[in-house]
């Protein structure tokens, strides 16, 4: 059956300017870190992706090693792009990254020009694309000169393989130096992708101010703290959770009695706002105008639809913010 995009898809999504660039991103973007690999059901991935686009999500975020297996999320996205989205390519912002281990040997990891250029070539083949809209360096490399890594990003843009470049997981000091190098090369950084949630607030210690000053966008990942900021753990550890399955991304040691108490108290505030805890956690990030978009994942269409309802209320009263900060305690000061 031929996919026909929702003609009203742009009517209910908020779009925010990315730094001082000409690009606007949807307030909610979809990440394909999990649930889109070759171990997952393609039909489910297709339903999630088409619902996202029908809901006004124009930005789809990938990386070379997303899956599992590594690379298979890009292959899945490439199939859906070819079969459902081909007529809409110019309506999409598609990003990929390189910086974590992708293949064996000394050239399949970190930040060398060899690795970044080769990795993007592979990503383009997997997705069936001539270019990506944004290409990120996924993490800082302590051994490769920053000038080489940034020079590779500049080269990739000049080769026409990416329109814009971004950084992920860079701390303020190293981000500031990377921004300077890119600016001098003539390929300014478009966007930064940090880990940010109610339970991980390091970006408030200078990074958000730096991004505002530099005119760089911000798109936080893991805004729900790997599922902690949902109703999943309100009553302990369910059998189908990441903690119970020991997937590694959320170790059981993080789910302390103190953390569960915080989750329950935050959920009380969310209920008073007529939101789920997840919806409030996403809205809490989007309350900051320095945030361009928040990056969410989804394991099924219904989960995506529920997350999108965060846009119904992204305003917080001073009393709500004070209560949230009191609950978060040390996180609020981090």
Q: Is residue 239 very low, low, confident or very high in pLDDT (cuts 50, 70, 90)?
A: low
Contacts of 56 (CB under 8 A, 6+ apart): 9, 10, 11, 12, 13, 26
pLDDT in tens, 263-273: 999 999 999 99
Mean pLDDT of the chain: 95
Q: Is residue 291 very low, low, confident or very high in pLDDT (cuts 50, 70, 90)?
A: very high
Spell 149-187 as b/e; 16+ CB within 10 A means b.
bbbbbbbbbeeebbbbbbbbbbebeebeebbebbeebeb
Q: Quick one: pLDDT at residue 254? A: 75
Q: What domains can be seen in the chain, in order of their start residue?
A: 15-227+284-313 (3.20.20.100)
Q: Quick one: pLDDT at residue 178? A: 98
Q: Quick one: pLDDT at residue 62? A: 98
Alpha-carbon distance of 199 to 305, in angstroms, equals 23
pLDDT in tens, 118-133: 999 999 999 999 999 9
* Least trusted range by pLDDT, from 34-48, 60-74, 248-262, 280-294: 248-262
20: pLDDT strictly greater than 80:
yes
330: pLDDT strictly greater than 80:
no
Q: Is residue 3 very low, low, confident or very high in pLDDT (cuts 50, 70, 90)?
A: very high
pLDDT in tens, 132-142: 999 999 999 99
Q: Is residue 240 very low, low, confident or very high in pLDDT (cuts 50, 70, 90)?
A: low
Q: Are 208 and 288 in contact (CB under 8 A)?
A: yes
Q: What percent of the chain has pLDDT over 70?
A: 93
- What mean pLDDT do residues 233-241 have? 70
Q: Quick one: pLDDT at residue 255? A: 84
Q: Quick one: pLDDT at residue 256? A: 87
């Amino acid at each position: 059956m031929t996919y026909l995009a929702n003609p009203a898809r742009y009517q209910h999504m908020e779009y925010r300017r990315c730094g001082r660039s000409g690009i606007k991103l949807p307030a909610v973007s979809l990440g394909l870190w999990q649930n889109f690999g070759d171990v997952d059901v393609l039909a489910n991935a297709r339903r999630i992706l088409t619902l996202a686009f029908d809901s006004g999500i124009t930005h789809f975020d990938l990386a070379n090693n997303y899956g599992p297996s590594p690379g298979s999320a890009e292959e899945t996205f490439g199939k859906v792009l070819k079969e459902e989205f081909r007529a809409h390519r110019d309506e999409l912002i598609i990003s990929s990254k390189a910086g974590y281990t992708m293949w064996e040997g000394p050239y399949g990891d970190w930040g060398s020009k060899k690795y970044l250029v080769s990795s993007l070539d592979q990503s383009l083949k997997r997705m069936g694309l001539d270019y990506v809209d944004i290409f990120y360096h996924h993490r800082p490399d302590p051994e490769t000169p920053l000038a080489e890594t940034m020079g590779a990003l500049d080269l990739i843009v000049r080769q026409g393989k990416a329109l814009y470049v971004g950084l992920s997981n860079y701390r303020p000091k190293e981000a500031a130096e990377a921004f300077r190098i890119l600016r001098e090369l003539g390929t300014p950084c478009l966007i930064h992708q940090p880990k940010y949630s109610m339970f991980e607030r390091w970006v408030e210690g200078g990074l958000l101010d730096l991004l505002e000053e530099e005119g760089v966008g911000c798109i936080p990942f893991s805004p729900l703290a790997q599922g902690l900021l949902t109703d999943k753990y309100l009553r302990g550890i369910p059998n189908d959770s990441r903690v119970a399955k020991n997937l590694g991304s959320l170790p059981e040691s993080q789910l302390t009695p103190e953390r569960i108490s915080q989750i329950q108290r935050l959920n009380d505030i969310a209920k008073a706002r007529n939101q789920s805890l997840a919806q409030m956690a996403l809205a809490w990030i989007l309350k900051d105008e320095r945030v361009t978009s928040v990056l969410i994942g989804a394991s099924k269409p219904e989960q995506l639809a529920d997350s999108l309802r965060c846009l119904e209320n992204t305003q917080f009263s001073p009393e709500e913010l004070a209560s949230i900060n009191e609950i978060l305690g040390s996180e609020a000061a981090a």
